Amino acid sequence: MATLSEIAQQYGPMPLDEADWLSEVVADWQIIADLSFADLVLWRKVDEGFVAIGHCRPSTGPTVHQEEVVGVRAAAGRIGHLETAFTERHVVVSREPRWDETYAVREEALPVVMRGRVIAVLTREASMAALRSSSRLEINYKGAADDLLSMITRGEFPVRTSVTGPRRGAPRVGDGVMRLDAQGIVTYASPNALSCFHRLGVTGSLLHRALPRVVTAMVSDRGQVDETLAMVTAGRAAWRTDVEANGAALSLRAIPVTDNGNRVGAVLLCRDVSDLRRRERELITKDATIREIHHRVKNNLQTVAALLRLQSRRVEAPEAREALSEAMRRVATIAMVHETLSGTLDEQVHFDDLVARAARMAADVASPGVQVKIVREGDFGMIPAQYASSLALILTELVTNAVEHGFEGREHGSITIFAERDGPELHARITDDGKGIAADPTGLGSQIVRTLVTNELHGQIEWHSVPGGSRVDLTVTVDGD
Q: State pLDDT tens for residues 64-104.
A: 988 889 999 999 889 999 999 999 999 999 877 777 666 78
Short-list 163, 147, 168, CA closest to 239: 163
Could you tell me the CA-to-CA distances from 435 to 334, 405, 465 in Å, in that order?
29, 8, 9
**pLDDT at residue number 1:** 67
Residue 82's domain spans which residues? 4-135+143-154
Q: What is the pLDDT of residue 439?
A: 60
Query: Sign of dihedral through CA atoms 396, 399, 405, 410?
Result: negative
Share of residues in the chain with pLDDT > 70 (%): 91
Give the pLDDT confidence score for residue 224 in this predicted structure. Answer: 54
**pLDDT, average across residues 14-42:** 94
CA–CA distance from 215 to each of 100, 219, 252, 268 (Å)?
47, 7, 11, 13
Which has the closest alpha carbon to 208: 181, 244, 232, 168?
181
Q: What does the alpha-carbon distance between residue 475 and residue 461 come to, in Å, rounded to a whole number?
A: 6
Contact between 430 and 445 (Cβ < 8 Å) = no
163 assigned to some structural domain: no
**Residue that terminates a domain, selected from 154, 185, 202:** 154
Q: In terms of domains, do 438 and 460 share one? A: yes
Instruction: Please state, rounded to an integer, the average pLDDT across all residues of the chain.
Output: 85
Contact 31, 45 (CB under 8 A): no
Domain end call among 209, 241, 272: 272
Greatest C-alpha distance within the chain: 102
**pLDDT value, residue 166:** 46
Residue that terminates a domain, selected from 154, 187, 204: 154
Same domain as 286, residue 268: no
What pLDDT does 98 receive?
A: 77
Phi, then psi, of 131 in degrees rounded to 5: -70, 135
Number of H helices, E strands in the chain: 13, 18
Q: Do 121 and 87 meet the contact criterion of CB atoms below 8 Å apart? A: no
pLDDT (average), residues 457-474 = 86
pLDDT at 272 exceeding the cut of 80: yes
* H helix intervals, 47-117: 76-88
Phi, psi of 334 (to 5 degrees): -65, -40
Asked whether residue 202 is assigned to any structural domain, the reply reads yes
Q: What is the pLDDT of residues 108-117, one digit of tens each?
A: 999 999 999 9
| CA 171 from centre of chain | 18
H or E segment and range at residue 150: helix 136-154
Q: Can you give the pLDDT at residue 448?
A: 83
Q: Are residues 263 and 290 in the same domain?
A: no
Report whether 294 contacts 338 (CB < 8 A): yes
Q: Report the pLDDT value the prediction gives residue 435, as an integer from 0 to 100.
A: 75
Which residue type is seen at 401? N
448/398 Cα distance (integer angstroms): 10
Which three-class secondary structure state does DSSP give residue 354? helix
Cα end-to-end span (Å), the chain: 24
User: Average pLDDT in the 250-263 region?
Assistant: 94
Q: Would you say 140 and 193 are in contact if contact means Cβ atoms under 8 Å apart? A: no
**222 shares a domain with 91:** no
Q: Are 464 and 474 in contact (CB under 8 A)?
A: no
Both 300 and 406 in one domain: the answer is yes
Asked if residue 303 and residue 207 are part of one domain, the reply reads no
* Judgement on whether residues 332 and 443 belong to the same structural domain of the protein: yes
Do 265 and 125 share a domain, yes or no?
A: no
Q: What is the mean pLDDT of residues 284-290?
A: 72
- Asked if 86 contacts 121 with a C-beta cutoff of 8 angstroms, the reply is yes
Same domain, 289 and 386: yes
DSSP, res 204: S
Q: Is 162 within the bounds of a domain?
A: no
Of the two residues 1 and 135, the one the predictor is more confident about is: 135
Whether the CB-CB separation of 14 and 54 falls below 8 Å is answered with no
Does residue 319 carry a pLDDT above 60?
yes
Is 437 contained in some domain? Answer: yes
Please indicate whether residue 57 or residue 403 has the higher confidence score (pLDDT): 57
- Could you say which DSSP state residue 75 is in? P
> How many beta carbons lie within 10 A of that of residue 235, not counting itself?
27
Task: State the CATH number of the domain containing residue 94.
Answer: 3.30.450.280
Q: Confidence class of residue 222 from pLDDT cuts 50, 70 and 90?
A: low
Region of 471 on the Ramachandran plot (φ > 0 left; ψ -120 to 50 alpha; else beta): beta
For residues 248-254, give the mean pLDDT: 93
Domain CATH code at residue 210? 3.30.450.20
Residue 308: give its domain's CATH number. Answer: 3.30.565.10
Sequence-distant (6+) residues with CB within 8 A of 195 are 176, 272
Residue 438: pLDDT band by 50, 70, 90 thresholds? Answer: low
Nearest residue to 181 (alpha-carbon basis) of 144, 151, 216? 144
292 shares its domain with 426: yes
- Residue 248 pLDDT greater than 70, yes or no: yes
| 438-446 mean pLDDT | 71
Residue 58 lies in a domain: yes
User: Nearest CA to 244 among 277, 213, 214, 211?
Assistant: 277
In-domain check, residue 125: yes
Residue 262 and residue 320 share a domain: no
Summarize pLDDT for 146-187 with one digit per residue, the tens: 999 999 999 999 887 665 544 456 899 999 999 999 999 999
Q: Are residues 368 and 466 in the same domain?
A: yes
Number of domains observed in the structure of the chain: 3
> From CA 18, how far away is CA 324, in angstroms rounded?
70
What number of residues does the chain have? 481
Q: 391 or 207: whose pLDDT is higher?
A: 207
Which of 247-256, 321-330, 360-369, 454-463 has the least mean pLDDT? 360-369
Q: How far apart are CA 436 and CA 470, in angstroms?
A: 5
What's the pLDDT at 370?
74
Alpha-carbon Rg for the chain in angstroms:
33
Whether the per-residue pLDDT at 131 is higher than 70: the answer is: no
Q: Cα separation of 82 and 68, whole Å?
A: 20
The residue among 193 and 221 whose pLDDT is bigger is 193
In a domain, 166, yes or no: no
pLDDT of 345 reads 59
Asked if residue 220 is part of any domain, the answer here is: yes
Q: Which amino acid is at 262?
A: N
